[in-house]
């Protein structure tokens, strides 16, 4: 194995250091008048550092008017029903919550949800039951493998009790 002599190694390190420092984009000083660079400055109005927000998820799943236990519940990204090819690869999208309704039909959980979303899809699945769908295209596309219900919810919907009413097939 060839060995580098000391002069070649120093030259290579010097070249690498020159390249790295040349790519830094300039000095360390902020532009004049930059309010964030000033000591004691406050962020501009409307600035929000958080990328997520906490919400108390509260859902009641009913079957023919009665609370039902064992329903599978997921809060997921909204899907675009016009892009059926993408649906094959990610039938649920990003999942923010997955759980099962308890004996009283309730699902209660504290969630931390991303602030860059305005809507979420609430997916409820219970064998031999059907429920509301915002996009019937999805139910038709998935056929027998479609969940019982898939509806879009907004942040304001998540601030109180949600009720999903299923019916027996």
69 within a domain of the structure (yes/no): yes
Percent share of the chain, pLDDT over 70: 69
**66-67 and 52-63: which strand pairing?**
antiparallel
The model's confidence at residue 34, banded by pLDDT at 50, 70 and 90, is low
53: pLDDT strictly greater than 80 = yes
Terminal C-alpha separation, the chain? 74
159 within a domain of the structure (yes/no): yes
Ranges 35-39, 110-114, 132-136: which has the least confidence: 35-39
| The pLDDT value given to residue 107 | 97
Q: Which domain holds residue 102?
A: 53-168
Q: What is the CATH number of the domain that holds 76?
A: 2.60.40.10
The model's confidence at residue 59, banded by pLDDT at 50, 70 and 90, is very high
35 within a domain of the structure (yes/no): no
Give the mean model confidence (pLDDT) for residues 32-40: 62
What is the number of structural domains in the chain? Answer: 1
Q: Three-state secondary structure along the chain?
A: CCCCCHHHHHHHHHHHHHHHHHCCCCCCCCCCCCCCCCCCCCCCCCCCCCCEEEEEEEEEEEECCEECCCCEEEEECCCCCCCHHHHHHCCCCCEEEEEECCCCCEEEEEEEEECCCCEEEEEEECCCEECCECCHHHHHHHHHHCCCEEEEEECCHHHCCEEEEEEEC
132 within a domain of the structure (yes/no): yes
87 within a domain of the structure (yes/no): yes
| The pLDDT value given to residue 162 | 96
Query: Structure pTM?
Result: 0.69
Q: Name residue, tokens 């009790």.
A: 161
- Average pLDDT over all residues of the chain: 82
147 within a domain of the structure (yes/no): yes
Q: Is the dihedral of CA 35, 37, 43, 49 positive or negative?
A: positive
């Amino acid at each position: 194995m060839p060995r580098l002599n000391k002069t070649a190694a120093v030259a290579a390190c010097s070249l690498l250091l020159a390249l790295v420092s040349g790519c830094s984009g300039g000095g360390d000083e902020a532009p004049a008048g930059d309010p964030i660079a000033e000591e004691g400055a406050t962020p501009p109005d409307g600035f929000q550092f958080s990328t997520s927000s906490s919400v108390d998820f509260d859902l009641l799943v009913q079957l023919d008017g009665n609370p039902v236990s064992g329903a599978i519940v997921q809060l997921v990204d909204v899907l675009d029903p016009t892009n059926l090819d993408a649906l094959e690869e990610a039938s649920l999208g990003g999942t923010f919550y997955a759980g099962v309704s308890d004996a009283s039909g309730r699902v209660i959980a504290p969630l931390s949800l991303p602030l860059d979303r305005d809507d979420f899809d609430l997916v409820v699945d219970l064998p031999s039951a059907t429920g509301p769908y915002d996009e019937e295209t999805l139910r038709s596309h998935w056929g027998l493998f479609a969940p019982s219900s898939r509806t879009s919810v907004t942040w304001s919907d998540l601030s109180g009790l949600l009720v999903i009413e299923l019916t027996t097939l």
